[in-house]
Amino acid sequence: MNFEKNILCIGAGYVGGPTMAIIAYKCPQYRVTVVDMNSERIAEWNSDDLPVYEPGLDKIVKTVRGRNLFFNTEIEQGIKEAEIIFVSVNTPTKTFGAGAGLAADLQYWEKTARQICQCAQSPKIIVEKSTLPVRTALAMERILTSNDNGIRFDVLSNPEFLAEGTAINDLENPDRVLIGSRQTESGLKARDELVEIYANWVPIERIITSDTWSSELSKLAANAFLAQRISSINSISALCEKTDANITDVANAVGTDSRVGNRFLNVSVGFGGSCFEKDILNLVYLCQNYALHEVADYWASVVKINEYQKNRFVLNMITAMFNTLVGKKICLFGFAFKANTGDTRESPAIFIAKRLIEEKAELVVTDPKALKNARIDLNGIDSNVSYMEDPYEAAVGCHAIAILTEWDLYRNLEFEKIYRSMIKPAFIFDGRNILDHKKLFQIGFNVFPIGKPALTHF
Ligand code: NAD
Ligand code: UGA
């Protein structure tokens, strides 16, 4: 079959896989290929057990795989054949050398740029999908034009705003699609080609355009603003606990001001995920580089409050359980960084599990989707950790339960049954405030919500 366009995506991760699946699904007239250097991951994309758990993803992949969506490891071949190349490789925080612990590690991204430069035999549009420091497109352009082979490359910035767990809905009905380009004739032409792809399913007024640097910076700023809301509400939760105020009422009162809005104000044990912390640290590093120290400190405090919140949660557990956790059995309800994903990258559960292990507690981890990753995260330190899928079984013989992920499943459990199977006094630390605290207290639990008075029988 003759396709209108050949689209390639380099990087078959949480962004590359779902994003390309949606493009293939919405645009049967395009051939979409996703490549990765990780052959195991590609094999999983070609199997019944996809490497990414996302509600709705399986069905879409099954519909389009082999029709106009293909996964393989033939990167060079893919580059040669494609007119449009999305780059969706990982850009983690650098762990070595200059900027270690703050700057984005651009080695995967640069490797891709050089590979495109070496293999390309015809003009290409290169789309930055990964989250990158502002002005990275300039470096991409410089690498691509270094070969002097006369091939034209246009580099666009098209950051991804999907959130895990809701990726399919976010991709099908995005608040906006952002495309940044050079304001030159060929830059604008390339931009229009990308607009045309999204216009297959996204209303045109939601496709917004800008210059390249604004687009790159908007992505970092958007994540920083979102994370800042969580740190804001979490910081107020600490004050609530000291003053007997109730964080749910405060969040509601603040959020009903339409200028603030009520979404994304859920108090928690701290935010996790592969991006918030990494992108804020990247922003901090950029500001430091431009000697904007006050701006850097402002954003760094969002991460600092997040660390504080995670640590505070553990300290509250220790204090509540008579200042020692040695030999106590604690059940972690949830290990994923949020509900509806198996992803545990930077999950607050990792930090909390490690701290509880340091306190010589015994842990039982339960999660409907993330146990495989939890085992990897705690590998080497888990001699006193067991993993169980069934939350009822996991709680048996435990002194305490800590709710770390807001899975719906935990809201409707039979807590009378769980209480009966636990050691007394039994504790619940609700790190997501998703349970009915009064009811748990009536059952007999000592209940420690976040940002609300504890309900104890002592
Ligand atoms: P990921 O680690 O899940 O996937 C990246 C993939 O790229 C990996 O499979 C890796 O093997 C592959 N890769 C790396 N270098 C390669 C190379 N040179 N050639 C071929 N393949 C290569 O990462 P992700 O979560 O999909 O994130 C990708 C980017 O998107 C990051 O910049 C991230 O900040 C951004 N982002 C992520 C999300 C999210 O929800 N995860 C949302 C928006 C933006
Ligand atoms: C986030 C952004 O929401 C996406 O727009 C962005 O594309 C993505 O980062 C990215 O760049 O990777 P994601 O991390 O997948 O998406 O999930 P979120 O829903 O933002 O949750 C992040 C963390 O914040 C989770 O640990 C979640 O539990 C926590 N959270 C979220 C709260 O503690 N309170 C809230 O009110 C909302």
Q: Rounded to whole angstroms, how far apart are CA atoms 14 and 35?
A: 13
Note the residue count of the chain. 458
For residues 362-384, give the mean pLDDT: 97
Residue 5 has pLDDT above 90, yes or no: yes
Q: What is the pLDDT of residues 273-309, one digit of tens each?
A: 999 999 999 999 999 999 999 999 999 999 999 999 9
Relative to beta strand 446-448, strand 427-430 is parallel
Task: Find the 264 Cα to ligand 2 centroid distance in Å.
Answer: 9
Residue 49 has pLDDT above 80, yes or no: yes
pLDDT-wise least confident of 143-147, 163-167, 320-324: 143-147
pLDDT band of 147, cuts 50, 70, 90:
confident
Please say if 27 is a catalytic residue.
no
Task: Find the 164 Cα to ligand 2 centroid distance in Å.
Answer: 8
Q: Rounded to whole angstroms, how far apart are CA atoms 147 and 117?
A: 7
For residues 385-401, give the mean pLDDT: 98
Tell me which residue has tokens 């580089």. 289
Nearest ligand by distance to the CA of 276: 2
**Which secondary structure element, helix H or strand E, spans residue 126, and what is its range?**
strand 124-128
Q: Rounded to whole angstroms, how far apart are CA atoms 135 and 182?
A: 12
- pLDDT for the residue numbered 426: 98
pLDDT band of 42, cuts 50, 70, 90:
very high
pLDDT band of 150, cuts 50, 70, 90:
confident
pLDDT band of 149, cuts 50, 70, 90:
confident
For residues 348-354, give the mean pLDDT: 98
Q: What's the mean pLDDT when you consider all of the chain?
A: 97
Q: What is the pLDDT of residues 219-262, one digit of tens each?
A: 999 999 999 999 999 999 999 999 999 999 999 999 999 999 99
Q: What are phi and psi of 85, to 5 degrees?
A: -120, 115
CA distances for 453 relative to 242, 348, 447, 456, angstroms: 8, 22, 9, 9
Residue 354 has pLDDT above 90, yes or no: yes
Residue 148 has pLDDT above 80, yes or no: no
Give me the percent of the chain exceeding a pLDDT of 70: 100
- pLDDT for the residue numbered 158: 98
For residues 159-167, give the mean pLDDT: 97
Which residue among 162, 229, 404 has the greatest number of ligand 2 atoms within 8 angstroms of its CB, and so is best to mutate?
A: 162
What does the block give as tokens for 56? 């709705």
- pLDDT for the residue numbered 422: 98
Which residue among 168, 248, 276, 302 has the greatest number of ligand 2 atoms within 8 angstroms of its CB, and so is best to mutate?
A: 276
Task: Find the 449 Cα to ligand 1 centroid distance in Å.
Answer: 35
From 454, 451, 11, select the one nearest 236 (Cα to Cα): 451
- pLDDT for the residue numbered 313: 98
For residues 108-117, give the mean pLDDT: 94
128 vs 149, higher pLDDT: 128
For residues 382-407, give the mean pLDDT: 98
Please, what sign has the CA dihedral across residues 207, 211, 213, 217?
negative
Q: Rounded to whole angstroms, how far apart are CA atoms 332 and 189?
A: 52
Q: What is the pLDDT of residues 167-215, one digit of tens each?
A: 999 999 999 999 999 999 999 999 999 999 999 999 999 999 999 999 9
